[in-house]
């Protein structure tokens, strides 16, 4: 804890704050040494806090000073020699594919000077950067821009691609061959299995379906998609077992273990998250030895200190916090829970239940702080997939190694790994489809403090309950009933609702009620689970019209949540298939359900859908497409909807250029009761259009703590200035617009 506190101060404080912290620690150290009966632990804590604080400050100084950040501040064009430290990661952008690569600049020349440096940068290049291999050294020319986080600068290359100076070392080439072999070994399996097996083995989740990833989050299985201590425990455990079969004894087992850890780090890449996972996995292995609990706790403390000294930025890493908490839960809570349950359960069953339950309970407050919800199926889901994780991981790795030299043998060995991955996928989808897989939980300080206290009480009470088979069984049955039977939301939805803005995070998902149990759905948000829960709370079982305004992930990523378990009639989409990857995924998903989308409802004339009238206002029905600068955003379908006398303008993400042209197409003097504010309240708006509409209610679907500054205070002030009541989903949750006896009302779920 002292090391963690030192890291937080060193990363967050100014230079003056760091100096004050060091001075305070020095005073505490002197006082500790001079105090009668001084305790070594107290002295050590002060020394450790000071060491990590200084390390964090020095790392920040190294990143933020020197030629590279200075040239970035001037936005200089430079020539650099760069060592690649990450695999290229393609990104779909509005203007074509971009590739993100991390690297360390070794030499930089620009503005009349040249320097030998060691500065971390992030490269945002074009498709020519996709073939670049981890560990290689390249030369390129580009513009340096100010960096963020642990990067000294952002490099935007100006050429088609980098020139190779030196290839990767032998160990990187070997690791790349095994990773390629792993994909070859599962090449014949179904698509989801082809992606999940490499993810289980080395954390390589490239190409994972966003809907499946959301299901893993909902069911508490996300740790399987990233590099975790579980991966290392299984791999090194398998190597130790194989070594024992081959006669390796004594200290030779330590050699095998160390080689396994090094090989794991090379395969999964030497990033901080991988090194952290390797450390936690090693501690988990130690916990299985004699006196493992006490040794594991001491080693966990030492590992936290060592990792924070190595990279103080881990002090603000959510993944690091979750790893430490999960490992601590397994070491401190699981043995007591297992021993309590062993009074009436076999040891293996008791341990299989205790380990995931302890890890999940320890992580619950942090997970709730991130997601705003508490999973109710996480323990059950982890218990169900536990038998499949080991074969999927181990056989996937062995198959990948075999496939390097003999692809057919590798595919045969990896066949059971694909079956095991299929079971894990089935559990994730089943769990996420349950009526109540998770409950919403606030992210405020009081809500999280209450949850932390509740988790502490559960940790203390669990052994007493687990000793009693009847009480344990009754609680399990009650918990299963809560998950399987959808509880009613008292008073929700409020009677007379006609339009709902769902709280789906940083994204759009709207529902227009057109009949009992039926609604037009406009956009699906970024994740299936969130939009599915919102529509279920509203009682929407039928979607006669689904409109996807454009193909950005924050509007279409939750498509599975709308389609799953609901009857869907017509589908309308943006006429511009941009970004191409998003459009391809959406059209493919619709095709699997036999849905053929059109481009906007009708030809611009009003269409009747149940109790609602829907008219497409943009893009123009005459086929005049949006101007290029706005790309996909300006190709958003803009709808004018009227239901039970309430008129609403739903605007997607149209930008000022399209808004200005849209204003010229609107009926003269048009006003609306409800405005869905374009692009989550972005500051880029045509203020004349927004003011002229004079909405009574302005809905802003927006994610809490988003990094875009949405909604812009100036936009909110403008809307309030023309008499609109501005309702945001990040502060109000789901928002309803109600019509009662000709009077407009609103209701918020929070």
> Considering Cα of 679, then 560, then 217, then 748, what sign does the dihedral take?
positive
How much is the pLDDT for 632? 87
Buried b (16+ CB within 10 A) or exposed e, 101-125: bbbbbbbbebeeeebeeebbbbbbb
Nearest Cα residue to 308 out of 296, 295, 320: 320
Q: Does 525 have pLDDT greater than 70?
A: yes
Give me 310's structure tokens. 């190595």
> Considering Cα of 342, then 466, then 362, then 436, what sign does the dihedral take?
positive
Q: Does 315 have pLDDT greater than 70?
A: yes
C-alpha distances in Å from residue 123, one per residue of 20, 103, 145, 451 = 36, 7, 10, 41
pLDDT (tens digit per residue) in 631-655: 788 889 999 999 999 999 999 999 8
pLDDT band at 559 (very low <50, low <70, confident <90, very high): very high
User: Kind of pairing, strands 725-728 and 510-515?
Assistant: unpaired
- Residue pair 557/526 in contact (Cβ under 8 Å)? The answer is yes
What is the C-alpha to C-alpha distance for residues 539 and 517, in angstroms, rounded to an integer? 6
Question: Which residues are CB-contacts of 248 (< 8 A; sequence separation ≥ 6)?
Answer: 256
3-class DSSP state of 502: coil
Q: Is 618 buried (19+), middle (13-18) or exposed (0-12) by CB count in 10 A?
A: buried
- Residue pair 571/546 in contact (Cβ under 8 Å)? The answer is yes
- Residue pair 46/25 in contact (Cβ under 8 Å)? The answer is yes
117 vs 235 pLDDT, higher one? 117
Nearest Cα residue to 83 out of 150, 158, 6, 168: 168
pTM of the full structure? 0.66
Q: Does 37 have pLDDT greater than 60?
A: no
- Tell me the residue length of the chain: 750
Which region among 28-32, 431-435, 622-626, 668-672 has the lowest average model confidence (pLDDT)? Answer: 622-626
Nearest Cα residue to 362 out of 316, 306, 322, 412: 322
What is the C-alpha to C-alpha distance for residues 146 and 121, in angstroms, rounded to an integer? 10
Q: 100: which strand partners?
A: 89, 124
What is the C-alpha to C-alpha distance for residues 417 and 397, in angstroms, rounded to an integer? 9
Beta-carbon neighbour count of residue 251 at 10 Å?
8
Q: How many CA atoms lie within 13 A of 206 on its CB side?
A: 10
638 sits in which H/E element: strand 638-643
366 sits in which H/E element: helix 347-371
Q: Does 154 have pLDDT greater than 60?
A: yes
Residue 328 φ/ψ region, left for φ over 0, alpha for ψ in the -120 to 50 degree band, beta for the rest? alpha
Query: Which phi and psi (to 5°) does residue 611 adopt?
Result: -80, -5
Q: Does 87 have pLDDT greater than 70?
A: yes
Task: Tell me the mean pLDDT in the region 544-555.
Answer: 93
How much is the pLDDT for 141? 94
Which region among 45-54, 139-148, 365-374, 446-455 has the lowest average model confidence (pLDDT)? Answer: 365-374
What is the C-alpha to C-alpha distance for residues 438 and 378, in angstroms, rounded to an integer? 9
Name the E strands within 412-494: 438-440
How much is the pLDDT for 16? 63
For residue 670, the 8-state DSSP code is: -
- Residue pair 431/218 in contact (Cβ under 8 Å)? The answer is yes
Question: Which residues are CB-contacts of 27 (< 8 A; sequence separation ≥ 6)?
Answer: none
Helix, strand, coil abundance in the chain, percent, nearest 5: 55, 20, 30
pLDDT (tens digit per residue) in 723-732: 899 999 988 8
Q: How many CA atoms lie within 13 A of 259 on its CB side?
A: 10
pLDDT (tens digit per residue) in 158-216: 877 899 999 898 888 888 888 889 889 999 998 888 888 888 887 777 777 766 777 88
Which residue in this structure is represented by tokens 């802003």? 700
3-class DSSP state of 382: helix
3-class DSSP state of 93: strand
Which residue in this structure is represented by tokens 């595919």? 411
Q: Does 571 have pLDDT greater than 90?
A: yes
Nearest Cα residue to 355 out of 205, 462, 232, 240: 462
What is the C-alpha to C-alpha distance for residues 704 and 394, in angstroms, rounded to an integer? 40
For residue 713, the 8-state DSSP code is: H
Q: Does 698 have pLDDT greater than 70?
A: yes
Query: Which phi and psi (to 5°) does residue 485 adopt?
Result: -100, 120
Nearest Cα residue to 534 out of 496, 570, 483, 489: 489
Name the E strands within 318-418: 373-375
Give me 15's structure tokens. 């230079």
Q: How many CA atoms lie within 13 A of 100 on its CB side?
A: 8
How much is the pLDDT for 156? 92
How much is the pLDDT for 627? 44
How much is the pLDDT for 273? 66
How much is the pLDDT for 271? 67
> Considering Cα of 245, then 248, then 251, then 254, what sign does the dihedral take?
negative
pLDDT band at 603 (very low <50, low <70, confident <90, very high): low
Give me 245's structure tokens. 């079969």
Question: Which residues are CB-contacts of 644 (< 8 A; sequence separation ≥ 6)?
Answer: 498, 611, 739
What is the C-alpha to C-alpha distance for residues 156 and 145, in angstroms, rounded to an integer? 8
3-class DSSP state of 603: coil
**DSSP letter for each residue of 203-257:** ---TT--HHHHHHHHHTT-GGGTS--HHHHHHHHHHHHHHHHHTT--THHHHHHH
How much is the pLDDT for 628? 40
Task: Tell me the mean pLDDT in the region 493-513.
Answer: 92
Q: What is the average pLDDT value for the chain, to the nearest integer?
A: 84
Q: Does 251 have pLDDT greater than 80?
A: no
């Amino acid at each position: 804890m002292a090391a963690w506190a030192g890291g937080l101060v060193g990363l967050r404080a100014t230079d003056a704050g760091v100096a004050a912290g060091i001075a305070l620690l020095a005073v505490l150290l002197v006082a500790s040494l001079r105090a009668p009966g001084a305790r070594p632990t107290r002295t050590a804590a002060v020394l450790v806090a000071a060491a990590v604080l200084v390390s964090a400050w020095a790392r920040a100084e190294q990143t933020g000073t020197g030629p590279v950040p200075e040239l970035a501040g001037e936005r200089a064009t430079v020539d650099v020699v760069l060592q690649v430290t990450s695999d290229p990661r393609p990104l779909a952008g509005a203007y074509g594919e971009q590739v993100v690569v991390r690297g360390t600049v070794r030499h930089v020349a620009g503005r009349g000077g040249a320097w030998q440096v060691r500065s971390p940068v992030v490269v945002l290049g074009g498709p020519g950067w996709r073939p670049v291999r981890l560990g290689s050294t390249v030369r390129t020319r580009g513009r340096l821009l100010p960096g963020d986080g642990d990067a000294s600068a952002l490099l935007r290359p100006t050429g088609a691609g980098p020139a190779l100076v030196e290839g990767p070392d032998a160990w990187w080439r070997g690791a790349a061959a095994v990773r390629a072999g792993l994909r070859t070994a599962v090449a014949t399996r179904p698509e989801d299995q082809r992606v999940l097996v490499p993810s289980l083995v080395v954390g390589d989740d490239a190409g994972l379906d966003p809907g499946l990833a959301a299901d893993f989050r909902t069911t508490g299985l996300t740790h399987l998609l990233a590099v975790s201590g579980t991966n290392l425990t299984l791999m090194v455990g398998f190597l130790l077992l194989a070594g024992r079969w081959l006669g390796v004894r004594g200290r030779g087992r330590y050699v095998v273990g160390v080689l396994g850890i090094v090989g794991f780090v090379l395969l999964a890449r030497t990033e901080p998250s991988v090194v952290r996972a390797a450390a936690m996995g090693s501690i988990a292995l130690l916990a299985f030895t004699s006196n493992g609990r006490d040794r594991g706790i001491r080693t966990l403390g030492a590992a936290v200190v060592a990792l924070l000294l190595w990279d103080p930025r881990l002090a603000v890493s959510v993944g690091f916090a979750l790893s430490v908490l999960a490992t601590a839960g397994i070491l401190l809570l699981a043995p007591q829970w297992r021993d309590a349950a062993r009074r009436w359960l076999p040891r293996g069953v008791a341990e299989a239940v205790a380990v995931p339950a302890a890890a999940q309970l320890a992580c619950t407050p942090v997970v709730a702080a991130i997601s705003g919800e508490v999973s109710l199926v996480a323990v059950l889901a982890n218990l169900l997939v536990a038998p499949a994780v080991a074969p999927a991981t181990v056989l996937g790795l062995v198959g990948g190694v075999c496939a390097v030299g003999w692809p057919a043998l590798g595919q045969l060995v990896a066949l059971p790994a694909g079956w095991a991955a299929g079971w894990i996928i089935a559990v994730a989808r089943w769990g996420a489809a349950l009526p109540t897989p998770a409950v919403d939980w606030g992210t405020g300080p009081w809500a999280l403090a209450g949850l932390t206290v509740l988790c502490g009480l559960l940790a203390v009470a669990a052994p007493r309950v687990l000793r009693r088979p009847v009480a344990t069984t009754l609680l399990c049955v009650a918990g299963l009933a809560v998950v399987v039977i959808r509880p009613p939301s008292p008073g929700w939805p409020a009677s007379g609702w006609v339009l709902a803005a769902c709280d789906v995070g940083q994204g759009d998902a709207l529902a227009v009620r057109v009949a009992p149990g039926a609604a037009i759905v406009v956009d699906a948000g970024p994740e299936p689970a969130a939009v599915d829960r919102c529509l279920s709370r509203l009682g929407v079982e039928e979607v006669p019209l689904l409109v996807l305004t454009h193909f950005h992930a924050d509007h279409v990523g939750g498509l599975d949540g709308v389609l799953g378990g609901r009857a869907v009639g017509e589908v309308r989409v943006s006429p511009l298939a941009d970004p191409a990857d998003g459009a391809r995924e959406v059209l493919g998903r619709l095709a699997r359900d036999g849905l053929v989308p059109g481009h906007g409802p009708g030809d611009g004339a009003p269409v009747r859908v149940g109790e609602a009238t829907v008219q497409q206002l943009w893009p123009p029905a005459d086929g005049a497409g949006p101007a290029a600068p706005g790309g996909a955003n300006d190709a958003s379908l803009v709808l004018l909807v009227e239901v039970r006398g309430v008129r609403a303008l739903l605007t997607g993400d149209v930008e000022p250029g399209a808004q200005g042209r849209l204003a010229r197409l609107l009926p003269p003097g048009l006003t609306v009761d409800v405005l869905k504010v374009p692009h989550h309240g972005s500051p880029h708006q045509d203020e004349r259009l927004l003011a002229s509409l004079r909405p009574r209610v302005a809905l802003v679907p927006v994610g809490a703590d988003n990094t875009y500054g949405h909604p812009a205070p100036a936009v909110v002030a403008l809307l309030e200035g023309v008499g609109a009541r501005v309702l945001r989903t990040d502060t109000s949750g789901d928002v309803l617009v109600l019509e009662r006896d000709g009077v407009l009302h609103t209701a918020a779920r929070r």
